[in-house]
């Protein structure tokens, strides 16, 4: 089967051959007449040789999202259904489906060769994001297939991110199929009971990318006085308490997130004086604690994305450094710092340098006792390593 040809410039062919899933508009030489936004195009090289196939959208900076490098693979209902089934199967084969009461990311866009599609399962409900025009057109099929594969009770859409605008689509959210999810879905994260608001919560409702790190952090917490900065709905706080922390202070600037955090703590039997929740700006709160001489045995720092684009790199790096310096100044001897960056533009190496410069400037001798990344249900294509946005370090002071 042939689709409209999209010829790319010679010096950009290598990237397609190497299976990088994006083609920027500047890489395109010409597109055959008749290719409409959202259509499938055949990407060809200078000599007309077939290189790959993808969704075309001239309105987007990323003019083609590639989904196939095999000419025999024709885009049809069976192909998409097969990719969804494979995404689920691959996760199950590495223990990344936590079972019927748990939550996980079933589809992670390009990494599952399903560009612009995110599917998260929260217990019996699926939450979808359609962020690429060509994928948006497959909505009915994708939703029906994913429901069938998972046996989910209902499907909800959260295509309300900036990414839609870049594709020339409006934001949209609401019911897609089956039962409407409850106001809060209770999920089980390795024994932690957590409430998720898929209608209004961040992302599709919860930070699933941190699931493994939250669970893993428990082993470090026994007997510690813990400070969880940027706590959102308290995932790390519940984990710390489950791991035997003697106290957990949770800080976030979002009141609704903090209210859910309070209920999540209660739901797991952690309430009272040892588990305060503070509605505040983290940097100001850290500064005040430092000045008052408040100290902790473990600090978790999981800030929002400080680097949204290249121009913000320097400013963002400075912001990471500042909060890390402040957090380090609160640590008791032997204290732990769990520090994260979800800025894709800040690589692991740069992040480590920034954290190092925070330790140098604060005169702290810290050592790395763990390296963390996004959960395995958010896989990263080797051909597109930039998709590995979340990185973290567990540091221990002397």
Give the interface segment with ligand SAH, choosing from 4-12, 250-258, 307-315, 316-324 (CB under 6 A).
250-258
Helix H or strand E encompassing 121: strand 117-122
Among 130, 230, 270, 296, binds ligand SAH (CB under 6 A): 230
Q: Contact with ligand SAH (CB under 6 A): which of 19, 50, 254, 356?
A: 254
Residue with tokens 């002397």: 398
Are 194 and 186 in contact by the 8 Å Cβ rule? The answer is yes
Q: What angle do CA 127, 162, 75 make, to 5 degrees?
A: 60
Coil/strand/helix, residue 314: helix
Stretch that binds ligand SAH, among 51-59, 96-104, 114-122, 226-234 (CB under 6 A): 226-234
Answer yes or no: 229 catalytic.
no
For every residue of 318-375, DSSP letters joined together read HHHHHHHHHHHHTEEEEEEEEEEE--TTS-HHHHHHHHHHHHHHTT--EEEEEEEES-
Q: Which of residues 299-358 bind ligand SAH (CB under 6 A)?
A: 302, 304
Helices (H), the chain: 13-17, 77-93, 133-136, 139-150, 162-166, 211-217, 235-242, 255-267, 282-292, 313-329, 348-361
Q: With contacts defined by CB under 6 A, how many residues of the chain interact with ligand SAH?
A: 16
Query: Nearest approach, Cβ of 140 to ligand SAH (angstroms)?
Result: 32
Nearer to ligand SAH, 82 or 304 (CB): 304
Q: Does 252 bind ligand SAH (CB under 6 A)?
A: yes
User: Which one of 6, 229, 231, 342 is the catalytic residue?
Assistant: 342
Site string for ligand SAH, 153-192 (x = CB under 6 A): ----------------------------------------
Query: Given the structure tokens 């084969």, which residue do they identify?
Result: 93
Among 85, 153, 182, 253, which residue interacts with ligand SAH (rule: CB under 6 A)?
253
From 275, 269, 215, select the one nearest 251 (Cα to Cα): 275
279 binds ligand SAH (CB under 6 A): no
Hey, what are 122's tokens? Answer: 């929260």
Question: Does residue 207 interact with ligand SAH by CB under 6 A?
Answer: yes
- Backbone phi and psi for residue 317, each to the nearest 5 degrees, phi listed first: -60, -40
From the centroid of its chain, how far is CA 320?
A: 18
Q: Which stretch binds ligand SAH (CB under 6 A): 53-61, 176-184, 232-240, 328-336?
A: 232-240
Instruction: Choose the stretch contacting ligand SAH; rule: CB under 6 A; options: 7-15, 54-62, 155-163, 233-241.
Output: 233-241
CB of 174 to ligand SAH, least distance (A): 23
Nearer CB in complex with ligand SAH: 286/380: 286
Distance CA 219, CA 71 (A): 48
Q: How close are the terminal C-alpha atoms of the chain, in Å?
A: 64
Chain positions 11 to 30 lying near ligand SAH, rule: CB under 6 A, are: none
Binding site for ligand SAH (CB under 6 A): 207, 210, 214, 230, 232-233, 235-236, 252-254, 257, 281-282, 302, 304
* Catalytic center residues: 342
């Amino acid at each position: 089967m042939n689709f409209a040809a999209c010829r790319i410039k010679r010096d950009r062919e290598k990237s397609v051959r190497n299976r990088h899933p994006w083609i920027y508009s500047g890489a395109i030489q010409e597109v055959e007449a008749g290719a409409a936004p959202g259509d499938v195009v055949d990407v060809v090289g200078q000599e007309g040789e077939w290189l790959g196939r993808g969704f075309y959208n001239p309105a987007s900076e990323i003019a083609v999202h590639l989904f196939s490098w095999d000419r025999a693979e024709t885009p049809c209902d069976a192909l998409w259904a097969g990719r969804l089934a494979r995404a689920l199967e691959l996760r199950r084969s590495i223990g990344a489906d936590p079972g019927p009461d748990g939550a996980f990311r079933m589809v992670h866009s390009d990494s599952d060769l399903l560009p612009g599609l995110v599917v998260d399962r929260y217990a019996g409900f699926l939450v979808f994001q359609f962020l690429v025009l060509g994928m948006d057109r497959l909505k009915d099929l994708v939703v029906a297939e994913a429901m069938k594969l998972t046996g989910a009770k209902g499907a909800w859409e959260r295509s309300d991110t900036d990414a839609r605008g870049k594709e020339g689509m409006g934001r949209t959210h609401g019911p897609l199929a089956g039962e409407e999810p409850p106001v809060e879905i209770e999920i089980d994260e390795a024994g932690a009971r957590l409430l998720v608001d898929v209608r209004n919560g961040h992302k599709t409702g919860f930070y699933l990318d941190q699931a493994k790190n939250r669970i893993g952090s428990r082993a470090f917490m026994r007997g510690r006085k813990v400070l969880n900065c940027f706590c959102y709905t308290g995932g790390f706080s519940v984990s710390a308490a489950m791991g035997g922390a003697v106290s957990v202070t949770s800080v976030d600037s979002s009141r609704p997130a903090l209210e859910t955090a309070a209920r999540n703590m209660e739901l797991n039997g952690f309430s009272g004086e040892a588990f305060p929740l503070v509605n505040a700006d983290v940097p100001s709160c850290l500064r005040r604690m430092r000045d008052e001489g408040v100290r902790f045995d473990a600090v978790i720092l999981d800030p929002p994305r400080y680097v949204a684009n290249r121009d913000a790199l320097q400013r963002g790096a400075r912001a990471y450094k500042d909060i890390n310096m402040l957090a380090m100044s609160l640590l008791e001897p032997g204290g732990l710092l769990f520090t994260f960056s979800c800025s894709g533009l800040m690589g692991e190496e740069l992040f480590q340098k920034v954290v190092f410069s925070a330790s140098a400037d604060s005169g702290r001798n810290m050592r790395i006792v763990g390296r963390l990344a996004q959960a395995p249900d958010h896989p990263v294509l080797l051909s597109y390593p930039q998709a590995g946005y979340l990185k973290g370090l567990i540091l221990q002071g002397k």
